[in-house]
Chain A
């Protein structure tokens, strides 16, 4: 059998990417909308994974960062209509990131459960502010978002928005993939596994945690900006405590400490949400039960199962080839 080389893999990847980017030509408008939403949730889920999966600090308030990004984008796009989306979106990400950084400085000195409570409170306060500060956010009437544009081309349909959302999502996912394999990403994991060991190895604990939090908020804020463009009308209840818990469910089900897991989780939860859109009770019940079941039986989520299966197959192969070699030797 010929070996599958890196070259073959790159061809396969390129083909998949091309198929994905051409998919709006054949898919329905609704499915394209779902793909956009999925990319956004995948970004938030990756962001949350930086903090929770990689660095081991739980956040129950990520909908707050999504809200910051979304309202920032909506408000800036209205007040400064001359700014193009590719300026506003990174600004939205950085704004959320900055807030995350400032919030992280005091709360990340605390232990795990306090962080959960502080972030929960943060998320709720943000959605309350969005509800009450009517002058800025229009309260529960919601905020109509000005469509994104390049020159005279306006992204005013789901299929056009696909080409706005997906390139950003792909770039950010690749960036996340690189970040976690660099020194910074490995420092996050070291902090999660043992703070004392990490500190002994010369990792600055509070700096690592705070930068993980800021990075995470950046991803959520950027995703929030994309969300504003995709749904085009944002209301405070898109950013409630339930949404923050949905994000946790995504990374628990998909797999903590894994970029692929974040995407799998986002796909599964968005899928369930769309399939059971008319039965919110059943949907919540499934989310709750799967949180419990995954945490008890598969704490590393689906990607954990995949990677342990892969390891097992590889080990099995090695074992059988060693046996063959042994038999030949005898």
Chain B
């Protein structure tokens, strides 16, 4: 029984990893913190819902159209919100994305109402038996999708020219600029990829928790995961996300069930107090 709980914990954790990954992508390239990451996923979820329920499009087409939309959303956020404030302190961009989060949430509430909607799953609804382990196809699907996405991202960053230029920007804007990398375009690209990741996350989260305007709050778990793993580290985002998911699913077995809602916050406070650099984080010297 415990193994089943752990597997569904890993599946939940994969969702948190995707959130954390989206946050880390933007942070690494631009040093900005995007509080609206979860609400971007929420909006993509509602767009997909509209395509599927109202326009009756087939699910694979809906998936592709929604991902295009999420990329566009990432680009739009960068162009409309971040670019105008690029000269200000990072603090300002954080507040702006906080504002964007409220705007996305209330605008979606106006358009689609605050009700909960069932969302079609990409995966068949049946139980899988793998040797002694019994689990459901949904969890396996989530884990597999996340793994594939991470592999693609890894290959992209490691072996393509664009990916390499993004890594260069994340190390030093000035040096990248001198090497002929367009820092502005890299910023936009980071937001676009982050938008894509949030769009995929929408398809994985919405079937599990129902689609609602409150779905964006998953960003807080994403933050907890990213900080637990080590803020700014890609492997950290993945490890942090999965550990948080497992912790959240296993803890109610040993403690009163109310604890589940508090875990991400307890983890946040705990990690920040005890070891702010997280599991994978390295200590960074502050520049004057």
Q: Are A112 and B91 in contact (CB-based, < 8 A)?
A: yes
Q: Are B107 and A124 in contact (CB-based, < 8 A)?
A: no
Q: Most A CB atoms within 10 A — which of B95, B101, B109?
A: B95
Residue A291 contacts which of B98, B110, B224, B276 (CB distance < 8 angstroms)? Answer: B98
B172 contacts partner chain A, Cβ-Cβ < 8 Å: no
CB distance from B51 to the nearest CB of A (A): 23
Given contacts A113-B33, A125-B266, whether A56 and B91 have CB atoms under 8 Å apart is: yes
B179 contacts partner chain A, Cβ-Cβ < 8 Å: no
Distance between Cα atoms of A112 and B81 in the complex (Å): 20
Binds B, one of A158-166, A211-219, A280-288, A302-310: A280-288
B218 contacts partner chain A, Cβ-Cβ < 8 Å: no
A118 contacts partner chain B, Cβ-Cβ < 8 Å: yes
A residues with a Cβ closer than 8 A to B are 56, 58, 60, 106-107, 109-114, 116-118, 120-122, 124-125, 128, 132, 196, 245, 248-249, 252, 280-282, 284-285, 287-292, 295-296, 299
Given contacts A196-B288, A281-B110, A284-B105, whether A289 and B272 have CB atoms under 8 Å apart is: no
Q: Chain B residues with Cβ under 8 A from A291's Cβ?
A: 95-96, 98-99, 102
Q: Are B269 and A295 in contact (CB-based, < 8 A)?
A: no
B123 contacts partner chain A, Cβ-Cβ < 8 Å: no
Q: Chain B residues with Cβ under 8 A from A292's Cβ?
A: 81, 96, 99-100, 103
Given contacts A118-B268, A125-B266, A125-B269, whether A299 and B98 have CB atoms under 8 Å apart is: no
Q: How does the 8 Å CB contact mask read for B254-283 relative to A, with 1 for contact and 0 for none? A: 000010011011101100110010000000
CB distance from A330 to the nearest CB of B (A): 43
- 14 contacts across the A-B interface (CB closer than 8 A): A113-B90, A117-B223, A120-B268, A121-B220, A121-B269, A124-B265, A128-B261, A245-B98, A284-B106, A287-B102, A288-B99, A291-B98, A292-B81, A296-B92
The contact size tier of chain B is 35 or more
Given contacts A107-B273, A121-B265, whether A295 and B107 have CB atoms under 8 Å apart is: no
| Identity of the chain B residue whose Cβ is nearest the Cβ of A129 in the assembled complex | B262
Q: Most B CB atoms within 10 A — which of A196, A245, A291?
A: A291
| Identity of the chain A residue whose Cβ is nearest the Cβ of B114 in the assembled complex | A281
Q: Are B96 and A295 in contact (CB-based, < 8 A)?
A: yes
Distance between Cα atoms of A112 and B91 in the complex (Å): 8
Question: Which are the 8 A-B pairs with shortest beta-carbon distances?
Answer: A291-B99, A288-B102, A288-B103, A284-B106, A121-B265, A121-B268, A292-B99, A106-B273
Distance between Cα atoms of A252 and B268 in the complex (Å): 26
| Identity of the chain B residue whose Cβ is nearest the Cβ of A289 in the assembled complex | B103
| Identity of the chain B residue whose Cβ is nearest the Cβ of A115 in the assembled complex | B272
B152 contacts partner chain A, Cβ-Cβ < 8 Å: no
Distance between Cα atoms of A303 and B134 in the complex (Å): 62
Residue B92 contacts which of A120, A121, A282, A295 (CB distance < 8 angstroms)? Answer: A295
Q: Are A296 and B107 in contact (CB-based, < 8 A)?
A: no
B58 contacts partner chain A, Cβ-Cβ < 8 Å: no
Q: Are A117 and B266 in contact (CB-based, < 8 A)?
A: no
CB distance from A77 to the nearest CB of B (A): 27
Residue A122 contacts which of B258, B269, B288 (CB distance < 8 angstroms)? Answer: B269
Distance between Cα atoms of A125 and B102 in the complex (Å): 21
CB distance from A216 to the nearest CB of B (A): 17
Q: Chain A residues with Cβ under 8 A from B266's Cβ?
A: 121, 125
| Identity of the chain A residue whose Cβ is nearest the Cβ of B33 in the assembled complex | A113
Residue A117 contacts which of B85, B103, B272 (CB distance < 8 angstroms)? Answer: B272
Distance between Cα atoms of A110 and B274 in the complex (Å): 11
Question: Which chain B residues (52-102) contact chain A, with CB distance < 8 Å?
Answer: 81, 84-85, 88, 90-92, 94-96, 98-102
Distance between Cα atoms of A292 and B99 in the complex (Å): 6
Q: Are B95 and A252 in contact (CB-based, < 8 A)?
A: yes
B227 contacts partner chain A, Cβ-Cβ < 8 Å: yes
CB distance from B72 to the nearest CB of A (A): 19
Distance between Cα atoms of A287 and B272 in the complex (Å): 30
Q: Are B276 and A114 in contact (CB-based, < 8 A)?
A: yes
